[in-house]
Amino acid sequence: MVQQLGHLPMGWLMLALLAMMASGAFFVGRVQAERFSAAGSGRFHSRPNYHGYYVAMWTVVPALVMAMAYGLLGDDIVRALLRRELPASFSAMPPIELSVYLDSISRAASQGGFSGSDRIFSAITNRFLELQGVIKTVTIGLTTLCAGSGFLLARRRVAPGFRARNKVEGGMEAFLFLCAAVAIATTVGIVASLLYESLRFFAQVPIWDFLLGTRWNAQTSAEFGALPLFFGTFMIALIAMLIAAPVGLFAAIYLSEYAGPRVRGSVKPILEVLAGIPTVVYGFFALLVVAPTIRTIAVWINMTLINAGVTSEPFLAAQPTSALAAGLVMGIMVIPFVSSLSDDVINAVPQTLRDAAYAMGATKSETVKHVVLPAALPGIIASLLLAVSRAIGETMIVVMAAGQRARISADPTADLTTITVQIVALLTGETEFDSPKTLSAFALGLVLFVITLIFNLIALRVVQKYREKYD
Amino acid sequence: MESTVTSAPPATSPGTQANEPERLTFPRIECRDINVFYGDKQAIFDISLPIPDRSVTALIGPSGCGKSTFLRCLNRMNDTIESCRVEGQIIMDGENINDAAIDPVLLRSRVGMVFQKPNPFPKSIYDNISYGPRIHGLAASREDLDGMVEKSLRRAGLWEEVKDRLTAPANSLSGGQQQRLCIARAIAVQPEVILMDEPCSALDPVATARIEELIDELRKRYCIVIVTHSMQQAARVSQRTAFFHLGILVEMGETDQIFTNPRERRTEDYITGRFG
């Protein structure tokens, strides 16, 4: 019987229980408030519905806390209990093996009990189910108890003078704050773990060797000079921005100042589709189409120069993967970021300024050049900075098309590697979590985070100042 | 419809000409049968209106009566509105400015405009004024340009207040100063006509009084057309007044006559505040 209880679908059960309790509590609270007001016992501060919400709130929240506690700890409690009852031979097992064994027990249990030939395994599985049944029953009991006491306490407070509406508003605010807190806590947690692991790395490798060293060879020998990675990152971001800044900006000017509503209505969404293409698609486009083309052109330039007698050595590296290929494709990828944001800020320039310029006999391009663009400049700069931070953090395109070799080379047809590529390389495949090789990924991640954070902060600041000027 | 035709300009202008020959010798702008459409919706119906030189013509009427739309026909600002279509002839210096052969950019350098809300460029005071002369190549040298800036600011009555801070941003000026700056900016292009679209509606009474004095001063040199919601302002600054209602020119004539002895019942009702 207890073993059967081990199969209880706790998620659904809890959900149904909570829903039932909530609606029940709501009606009880409301009906009670209505009865008071029908009896004419003074004027109610809050409308009956709020009393209903109040009672429901105090019924559900304690129950929810219990349910969450079960979700977080339930399995661990069952395991801890089971481990205490295991035969002595198991305590000699190394902890990892034991936990793997318990995992397989719990898997077998969730599939409806074990009926194979291994009698010990089968016995343990059944015991596991029994224990689980006990814990589940206890949880349901406790949940009901919590909900019941919360319900009783809350119901007793329903009275004409009770400010249920304010309490419910307060509860709502607390709930919304919690949701916001989740996002903030996650960010803080990520930054903290980045910092912690980076500090462990810097305990083994001096920080200046990392930031200023020019030799990066984390995979084979322990060389952690990240300067070539920074160089590669910025080189590719620079190539990307050389494409994206003018194209994006001019596209934005065309869309906001020249295009008619019909052209704008169709071109703008198409441009924004670019932002929706998965970066991995850009990545193989870069690898399979752009990189070979660049290589062919580079080889042709080399041949021409050698034939013309300008050089005797090949002038360009002409690698199959290259900074130029990754940068070009990344540039196309960030065009919509530049154009969409710039378009917004150009549209935000008041029409009266354009009218003023037109009324003085300025042509369209004079108006754009002298009046609209200067007025929109801060916003345009912000959009460029956001695009840069996007380009620096971009991973998939560079993983596929930039190459793996860490070096400082101004030749755009040479292969380079970036911070993001190296993080991927360091953390894929076999990893152990205390070697400097793995830890260096965290240090790189921290650097990346700091760089993009600075760009975003500057961009936000600039946008804010711009807003103040026109609102 | 018949009544508007009888009150149309040709019938009235000879009489007024006789009364004040020095002012109404020759209409600077002659509008004939102007119709304006926004998409399918007609905003202005068959308006004919002569606008005399060196005087102020006020356009009055309730909101949405088409007076601003009509004003914007005079420098073809309606071209910047996609759905807007203007029909009819607007004769200025013997040319129909509605003609496709007329370049609106050149036209606008002859017909300046001041807007409802002060709209200085987000540049310095000096750059605001010098912008027009620069794009039209009016100044031969830096000194020339300086002179133009000073002259325009003096004519707009702003020179004494800003002469020590010409490089300050124009947005740092007060609302009234900004509007006078906009007038100076329009003057700097050396226009013949100045259009004003409710130039005082965003200003306090003191600043309004200064602008009105300035308008009175400017009419000695320019042909001015002003749209206003304030009847008192129209009475104070204009010599001729045209009353618009629902896209129709109801009545036009000498300002004194319109305000003391209107011919049309609708004009009287509007002026006395019975509607609008």
- Is A361 in contact with B107 (Cβ distance < 8 A)? yes
pLDDT in tens, B149-161: 999 999 898 999 9
CA angle, A413 then A418 then A421, to 5°? 110
pLDDT at residue B238 is higher than 90: yes
Indicate whether A1 pLDDT > 60: no
Q: What is the pLDDT of residues B115-151, one digit of tens each?
A: 999 999 988 999 999 999 999 999 899 999 999 999 9
Separation in Å, CA of A271 to nearest CA in chain B: 23
Question: Which pLDDT score is estimated for B113?
Answer: 94
CB contact under 8 A, B131 and A352: no
Do residues A294 and A432 both lie within one domain?
yes
Chain B residues within an 8 Å CB radius of A345: none
Q: What share of chain A is helix, strand, coil (3-state, %, to 5)?
A: 80, 0, 20
Q: Provide the pLDDT confidence category of residue A232 given band limits of 50, 70 and 90.
A: very high
Decide if A308 is inside a domain: yes
Q: Which chain B residues touch A362 with a CB distance below 8 Å?
A: 105, 131, 135
Give the per-residue pLDDT at B18.
41
Query: Is the pLDDT reported for residue B7 higher than 80?
Result: no
- Which helix H or strand E contains B253, and what residues bound it? strand B248-254
Predicted confidence band of residue A116 (pLDDT cuts 50, 70, 90): low
Residues A158 and A289 in one domain: no
- Do A330 and A450 belong to one domain? yes
- Contact list in A for residue B185 (CB cut-off 8 A) is 356, 360
Cα–Cα distance measured from residue B101 to residue A124, given in angstroms and rounded to the nearest whole number: 97
Asked if the C-beta of B247 comes within 8 angstroms of chain A's C-beta atoms, the answer is: no
Q: Are residues A220 and A281 in the same domain?
A: yes
What confidence score (pLDDT) does residue A112 get? 67
Answer for the pair A67, A14: CB distance below 8 angstroms, yes or no: yes
The phi and psi torsions of B250 (rounded to 5 degrees) equal -80, -45
In a domain, A168, yes or no: no
Best mutation target among B69, B80, B138 (most A Cβ atoms within 10 Å) is: B80
Residue A149's nearest CA partner among A248, A261, A85, A60 is A60
Q: Is A263 at the interface with chain B, CB within 8 A?
A: no
Nearest to A4 by CA among A112, A121, A140: A112
Nearest CA in chain A to B196: A359
Indicate the SS3 state at residue A232.
Answer: helix
The pLDDT, as a whole number, for residue B82 is: 84
Quote the minimal CA–CA distance from B113 to chain A in Å. 6
Cβ pair A360:B135 closer than 8 A: yes
Judge: B121–A360 Cβ closer than 8 Å, yes or no.
no
Q: Give yes or no for residue A401 having a pLDDT over 50.
A: yes
Please report the pLDDT score of residue A161 as a whole number.
76
Nearest by CB to B109, which of A350, A353, A361?
Answer: A361
Residues paired with B193 in a beta bridge: B111, B223
Using a CB–CB cutoff of 8 Å, tell me whether A373 touches chain B.
no
Helices B175-188, B142-155: crossing angle, 10 deg rounding? 130
Residue A158 pLDDT class (50, 70, 90 cuts) = confident
Average pLDDT, chain A: 86
For residue A463, the model assigns a pLDDT of 77
In chain B, the residue whose alpha carbon lies closest to the alpha carbon of A352 is B119
Residue B23 has pLDDT above 50, yes or no: no
CA distances from B252 to A286, B26, B62, B237 (A): 71, 17, 15, 16
Q: Work out the pLDDT band at A195, boundaries 50, 70, 90.
A: very high
Tokens of A146: 């919590």
With respect to residue A460, please indicate whether it lies within any of the assigned structural domains. yes
Instruction: Flag whether A183 is in a domain.
Output: no
Which residues constitute the domain of residue A378? 207-470
Do residues A110 and A128 touch, judged by C-beta distance below 8 A?
Answer: no
Contact check, Cβ <8 Å, A359/B75: yes
**Residues A136 and A232 placed together within one structural domain of the fold:** no
Q: What is the mean pLDDT of residues A100-128?
A: 76
Taking CA–CA distances from A466, the nearest residue in chain B reads: B122
Give B-chain residues touching A358 at CB under 8 angstroms: 77, 80, 108
Instruction: Quote the minimal CA–CA distance from B135 to chain A in Å.
Output: 7
Residues in A closer than 8 angstroms to B186, CB to CB, are 359-360
For residue range B249-273, list pLDDT tens digits in order: 999 999 999 999 999 999 999 988 8
Classify residue A171: in a domain, yes or no: no
Taking contacts as CB-CB distances below 8 angstroms, the residues of chain B near A256 are: none
Q: Of A57-66, A173-182, B5-14, which gets the smallest average pLDDT? A: B5-14
Within this chain, do residues A227 and A100 fall inside the same structural domain, yes or no? no
Residue A170 falls inside a structural domain: no
Which pLDDT score is estimated for B276? 55
Among residues A104, A139, A162, the one where a domain terminates is: A162
Least trusted range by pLDDT, from A152-166, A434-448, B196-210: A152-166
First to last CA, chain A: 70
Query: Which residues in chain B touch residue A467, judged by CB atoms under 8 angstroms apart?
Result: none
B5 touches chain A (CB under 8 A): no
Contact of B81 with chain A, judged by CB distance below 8 Å, is answered with no
Position A86 scores a pLDDT of 77
**What CATH number has the domain spanning B2-118+192-271?**
3.40.50.300
Check pLDDT > 60 for residue A322. yes
Q: What is the pLDDT of residue B9?
A: 42
Split at pLDDT 50, 70, 90, the class of A65 is: confident
Could you tell me which chain A residue has the CA closest to the CA of B103?
A: A361
Partner-chain residue, chosen from A260, A360, A374, that has the shortest CB–CB distance to B108 = A360
Query: Do residue A106 and residue A230 come from a single domain?
Result: no
A377 to chain B: closest CA residue? B122
Mean pLDDT of A165-181: 91
Cross-chain Cβ contact A360/B132 below 8 Å: yes
Task: Give residue A6's pLDDT.
Answer: 67
Which whole number is the average pLDDT over A398-423? 90
For chain A, what is the domain count? 2
More confident residue, A257 or A80: A257
CB contact under 8 A, B77 and A359: yes
**Candidates A351, A360, A366, partner chain B, best to mutate (most B CBs within 10 A):** A360
Q: Which of residues A162, A178, A195 is at a domain's end?
A: A162
Q: Which of the 8 DSSP states describes residue A410? A: -
What percentage of chain A exceeds 70 in pLDDT? 95
CATH label of the domain that carries residue A249: 1.10.3720.10
Asked, for residue A131, whether it belongs to a domain, the answer is: yes
pLDDT band at B15 (very low <50, low <70, confident <90, very high): very low
In this prediction, residue A235 carries a pLDDT of 94
Would you say A54 and A25 are in contact if contact means Cβ atoms under 8 Å apart?
Answer: no
Cβ distance of B117 and A375 shorter than 8 Å: no
Instruction: Look at residues A373, A322, A333, A316 and name the one whose alpha carbon lies nearest to residue A349.
Output: A373
Average pLDDT over residues B190-217: 92
Query: What are the tens digits of pLDDT across the range A3-61?
Result: 666 677 777 888 888 888 889 989 888 888 888 777 766 667 778 888 889 889 888 88
Q: Closest Cα to residue A147, out of A11, A25, A16, A32?
A: A25
Chain mean pLDDT for chain B: 87
Contact B131 A360 (CB under 8 A): yes
Helix (H, G, I), strand (E, B) or coil at B213: helix
Task: For residue B40, give every residue at least 6 positions away whose Cβ sits within 8 Å of its Cβ, in sequence order, or none.
Answer: none
Reported confidence tier of residue A94, pLDDT bands at 50, 70, 90: confident
Residue A186 resides in a domain = no
